């Protein structure tokens, strides 16, 4: 009896310790690991009140002309569009919280945001136990702010000088709203949905000798025709950063994303970033060469990852999870893969190289007004690219390939870039060695399974070694979950880690090239204990959204909870020798 009582006390003590740790991940004490005060005790400071702030007409905000250094001594309110101009740096120390002021639906153009201009930099280097958080002003960071509260503010935008394929003839003149008319010159674009073509809102530079024009046919001042793209452009560093409740809708089809990347160069470092409850895409690339690694997108309303205008970067370890299947939730894609919105046959094509993604859909089957498919990978607008060793689950369509020319210039579409027998001979779109789980139609052409011919199926499964798993039957893996979007309580959790690990035999493996890490498995996460790359401060762990990811020594049965089942495993081993 004495021994049992002692075991019970020991177990109870460990349970209380675990509960205490879990409570701390509510993040009201964000930054405690790096000496920051409690979030609630920090005074609020308007970013527009910082030294050097200068209003810029037409932007609904202004520039921090001296840059700024933000510390966790304060909570910072993003009360306007805050721009960091060329030659200046916004430094954000670990543990710092920035809160976006809620935008008025009656004045969407005034949505608050952080915009790093061409030549400016953001240095936001958090750590695994001391994240930097961008969130809504009303979020008190105790884990209770409803994940349904999408689009409370704008987001974070990085604008660079790397390559895009915009042409003024096909993509101009710039028009406010979701028209796709983004160009004010060859190679020079304006962020989608912004109200004017102010220089502060532009990305890319010129490659042609043609003097660019604005929407009225007037030469743009301050743009030099001798400039060229800089694919090594450096917009700074973002590591261990969480961006929550963003994605203000400026117009249908023209929203600010959680993280918008306009012609961002590969000199920029983007790692360990999560986007939570965004009303638009988690991350959208408008051209550029930037690489991304260890990226999480949770509960968003639009595409998880969206590329366009010739993005040619690298990506590895991507985790995406839709909100559950409710009527109010959008029904867009895991990857929205475009090359040129202008349908003008522009070069360079989008050719990103992606390894080790796990993308979980929500089984939606009704297409929304601003989308053309519901797919894990929606390949269209002449996209190229390479996608390897990934897991896609619970989408209506797995890989969708657009084939119809429609109004496109030329004789090819994404399908022709992919097909080895009926294509254009380029085969610049490669989707190989991926596992598609519980997708109603693993392969579609033009969103139709009936349009898939025998040669397509042979290439998809036999040649390209993609695996189709019917239903939710992959061992160790479970895409189903249930959450109350108002209380944030998960009554059922998914498990994104196949166990045993999925084979990559005969497949390309990410090369050890200084960016990619060799990973001999499919999906974002290894099944080997201790190799999870999500930090304890990531929001998926804050909410306890998933099984199989929590590095918890007391979770002996690895079901995501420490409970009596774990005690029953431990009790028979109590007092045994561990050597």
Residue 221: per-residue pLDDT: 46
- Cα–Cα dist 263/187, whole Å: 9
Paired with 401 in beta bridges are: 379, 445
How far apart are alpha carbons 567 and 551 in whole angstroms? 17
> Rounded CA gap, 546 and 379, in Å?
29
Beta strands, E only, 438-546: 441-445, 467-469, 482-483, 490-492
* Cα 459 to Cα 28, 419, 448, distances in angstroms: 51, 8, 17
pLDDT number for residue 253 = 63
pLDDT digits 0-9 by tens, 256-306: 899 999 999 999 999 999 999 999 899 999 999 999 999 999 999 889 999
> Average pLDDT, stretch 458-464?
98
Backbone phi, psi, residue 385, to 5° = 125, 170
Extents of the domains making up the chain: 303-536
Q: Pull the structure tokens for residue 32.
A: 């405690």
On the question of pLDDT at 311 being above 60, the answer is yes
Which residue has better confidence, 557 or 237?
A: 237
Work out the average pLDDT over 189-200: 86
Predicted TM-score (pTM) of the model is 0.89
Q: Residue 116: pLDDT band by 50, 70, 90 thresholds?
A: very high
Closest to 135 in 3D by CA, of 245, 238, 295, 258: 245
> For residue 119, is it left (φ>0), alpha (ψ between -120 and 50) or beta?
left
The three state secondary structure string of 389-403 is CCEEECCCEEEEECC
Higher pLDDT, 410 or 67: 67
Give per-residue pLDDT as tens, 354-406: 999 999 998 877 766 556 678 999 999 999 999 999 999 999 999 999 999 88
Supply 47's token pair: 């970013």
Dist. CA 391–CA 569, nearest whole Å? 31
Q: Return the sign of the alpha-carbon dihedral for residues 308, 245, 367, 170.
A: negative
- Collapse the DSSP code of 362 into the 3-class scheme (helix H, G, I; strand E, B; otherwise coil) and give the result: coil
Task: Enter the tokens of residue 363.
Answer: 């089984």
Spatial distance between the Cα atoms of 500 and 186, rounded to a whole number of angstroms: 50
Choose from 40-44, 127-131, 217-221 the range with maximum mean pLDDT: 40-44
Which pLDDT tens digit goes with each residue over 399-449? 999 999 888 888 999 999 999 999 999 999 999 999 999 999 999 999 999
Count of other CB atoms within 10 angstroms of residue 347: 11
> Coil, strand or helix: which one is 295?
strand
* Closest to 271 (Cα-Cα) out of 321, 237, 231: 237
How far does the chain reach from its first CA to its final CA, in angstroms? 27
């Amino acid at each position: 009896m004495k021994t049992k009582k002692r075991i019970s006390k020991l177990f109870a003590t460990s349970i209380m310790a675990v509960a205490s740790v879990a409570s701390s991940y509510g993040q009201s004490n964000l930054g405690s690991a790096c000496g920051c005060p409690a979030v609630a005790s920090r005074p609020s400071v308007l970013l527009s009140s910082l030294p050097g702030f200068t209003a810029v007409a037409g932007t609904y905000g202004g520039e921090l002309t001296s840059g700024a250094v933000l510390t966790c001594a304060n909570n910072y309110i993003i009360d306007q569009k805050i721009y960091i101009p060329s030659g200046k740096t916004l430094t954000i120390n670990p543990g710092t919280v920035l809160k976006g002021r809620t935008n008025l639906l009656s004045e969407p153009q005034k949505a608050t945001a952080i915009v790093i201009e061409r030549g400016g930099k953001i240095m936001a280097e958090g750590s695994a136990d001391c994240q930097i958080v961008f969130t809504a002003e009303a979020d008190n960071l105790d884990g209770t702010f409803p994940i349904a509260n999408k689009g409370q503010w704008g987001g974070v935008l990085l604008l660079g000088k790397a390559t895009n394929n915009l042409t003024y003839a096909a993509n101009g003149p710039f028009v406010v709203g979701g028209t796709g008319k983004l160009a004010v010159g060859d190679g020079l674009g304006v962020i989608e949905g912004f109200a004017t073509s102010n220089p502060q809102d532009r990305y890319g530079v010129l490659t042609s000798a043609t003097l660019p024009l604005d929407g009225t046919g007037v030469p743009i001042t301050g743009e030099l025709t001798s400039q060229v793209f800089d694919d090594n452009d450096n917009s700074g560093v973002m590591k261990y950063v969480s961006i929550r409740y963003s994605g203000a809708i400026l117009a249908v089809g023209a929203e600010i994303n959680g993280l918008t990347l306009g012609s961002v160069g590969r000199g920029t470092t983007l790692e360990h970033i999560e986007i939570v409850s965004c009303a638009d895409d988690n991350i959208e690339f408008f051209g550029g060469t930037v690489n991304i690694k260890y990226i999480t997108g949770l509960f968003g309303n639009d595409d998880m990852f969206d590329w366009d205008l010739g993005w040619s970067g690298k990506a590895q370890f991507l985790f995406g999870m839709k909100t559950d299947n409710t009527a109010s939730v959008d029904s867009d894609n895991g990857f929205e893969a475009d090359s040129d919105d202008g349908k003008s046959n522009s070069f360079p094509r989008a050719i990103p190289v992606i390894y080790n993604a796990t993308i979980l859909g929500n089984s939606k089957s009704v297409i929304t007004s601003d989308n053309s498919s519901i797919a894990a990978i929606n390949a269209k607008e002449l996209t190229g690219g390479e996608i390897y060793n990934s897991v896609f689950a619970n989408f209506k369509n797995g890989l969708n390939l657009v084939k119809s020319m429609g109004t496109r210039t030329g004789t090819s579409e994404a399908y022709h870039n992919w097909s080895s027998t009926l294509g254009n001979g380029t085969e610049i779109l490669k989707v190989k060695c991926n596992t598609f789980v519980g997708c109603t139609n693993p392969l579609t052409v033009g969103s139709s399974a009936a349009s898939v011919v025998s040669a397509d199926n042979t290439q998809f499964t036999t040649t390209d070694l993609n695996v189709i798993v019917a239903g939710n039957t992959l061992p160790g893996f479970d895409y189903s979950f249930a959450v109350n979007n108002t209380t944030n309580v998960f009554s059922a959790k998914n498990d994104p880690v196949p166990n045993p690990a999925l084979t990559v035999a005969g497949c390309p493996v990410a090369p050890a090239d200084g960016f990619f890490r060799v990973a001999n498995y499919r999906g974002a996460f290894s099944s080997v204990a201790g190799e999870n790359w999500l930090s304890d401060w990531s929001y998926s762990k804050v909410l306890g959204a998933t099984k199989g990811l929590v590095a918890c020594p007391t979770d002996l049965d690895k079901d995501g909870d420490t409970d009596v089942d774990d005690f029953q495993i431990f009790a028979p081993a109590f007092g045994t020798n561990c050597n």
